[in-house]
Amino acid sequence: MSSEHYALKVNGARHEVRDSWIGESLLYVLRERLGFYGTKGACEQGECGSCTVLMDGEAVCSCLVLAATAQGAEIVTVEGLAPEGELNDVQRAFVDKGAVQCGFCTPGLIVAITHLLDNDPQPSESKIKESISGNICRCTGYGRIFDAVQQAIEVRGVNR
């Protein structure tokens, strides 16, 4: 297989990708080459949202992005949302409100909701539902996730 060498900027730091195959997705490279296992894959078809990361401030399915095309972009994964040892408000709310069961959907949802609230700190209920409708959770039935989003919204409102 062809072997490529390039660099990606993930969570503020530059990472070299060596000896990779050009067909590797951003999801694969983040996980298997750079060790960012927080980003999950559950369909690799853009249907489940488990692989959501931020690319230049946009939420994308990393399974649909060719890693080599992400050179130069600012990539943020779930590991980059809060300083080492801390939780951001969405992460905190997920723990507090019981929004985590198996947790496989969780990183993708956390990235998606953090992105939503960063752009709209007071989203309507419909907007919340629509913006996470691309993130499938098979365990929770979403009830506790909605609750967690409300907590994060309230916390942001107070801290503003």
Partner 1 sequence: MSTTITATRNILGTSVLRPDGTAKVRGEFHFSSDEFATNMLWGATLRSPHPHARILSIDISAALKINGVSCVLVADDVPGKLTYGLISSDQPVFARDVVRYMGEPVAAVAADHPETCKRALEAIRVEYEVLDPLVDPERCLDQSVPPIHPDGNVFRHQRIVRGDQSIQGEVQVEGTYDIGMQDQAFLGLEAALAIPGHDGRSVELHIATQWLHEDRKQIADCLGLPEDDVQLVLGGVGGAFGAREDISLQVHSCLLALRTGRPVKMQYSREESFFGHVHRHPAKIWMRHHATKDGRIQRIEARMLLDGGAYTSTSPAVLINAITHTQGPYVCENATVDGFAVRTNNPPCGAMRGFGVVQACFAHESQMDKLAVACQLDPVEIRIRNAMSKGDLLITGQPMDSVAPVTRCIQETAAIPMPEAVTSDDPLLLPGGSGRTATSSNIRRGVGWGVSMKNLMYSEGFDDYSTARCTLQDGVAHLKFATSEVGQGFVTLAIQIATSILGVDQVELEQIDTRIGSAGSTSASRQTWMSGGALDGACRMVREMLFEKVGKEHHVDPIRLAIVDTDVVDTMGTLRVPVREASAGVSLSHTFEHHHRPTTDLDENGQGNCHVAFAFVAHRAVVDVDPELGLVKVVQIATAQDVGRVLNPLSAIGQIEGGIAQGLGLAVMEEIVIDNGRVRNPSFTDYLLPTALDAPVVEARFIEEPEPMAPLGAKGIGEPPCISVTPAIVAAIRDAIGKDIDRVPVRPQDICL
Task: Give me the residues that bind ligand FES (CB under 6 A), please.
Answer: 41-44, 46-51, 61, 63, 100-105, 137-140
Q: Which residues bind partner 1 (CB under 8 A)?
A: 1, 21, 23, 28, 31-32, 35-45, 47-48, 50, 77-79, 82, 87, 91-92, 94-98, 100-107, 110, 126, 128-130, 132-146
- Provide the pairing of β-strand 74-76 with 52-55: antiparallel
For residue 157, the partner it binds in ligand FES, partner 1, none, with Cβ less than 5 to 8 A by kind, is none
Query: Which amino acid, one-letter code, is at 120?
Result: D
What is the rounded distance in angstroms from the CA atom of residue 105 to the CA atom of residue 139? 9
Task: Give me the count of residues in the chain.
Answer: 160
Q: How far is the CB of 72 from ligand FES (least distance, A)?
A: 22
Helix (H) or strand (E) holding 96, with range, is helix 89-96
Which among ligand FES, partner 1, none contacts residue 114 (Cβ within 5 to 8 A by kind)? none
51 binds, among partner 1, ligand FES, none (CB under 5 to 8 A by kind): ligand FES
Which lies closer to ligand FES via its Cβ, residue 17 or residue 63? 63
Looking up tokens 């927080």 gives 38
Which residue in this structure is represented by tokens 């951003």?
Answer: 26
The CA-based angle 99-56-87, given to 5 degrees, is 30
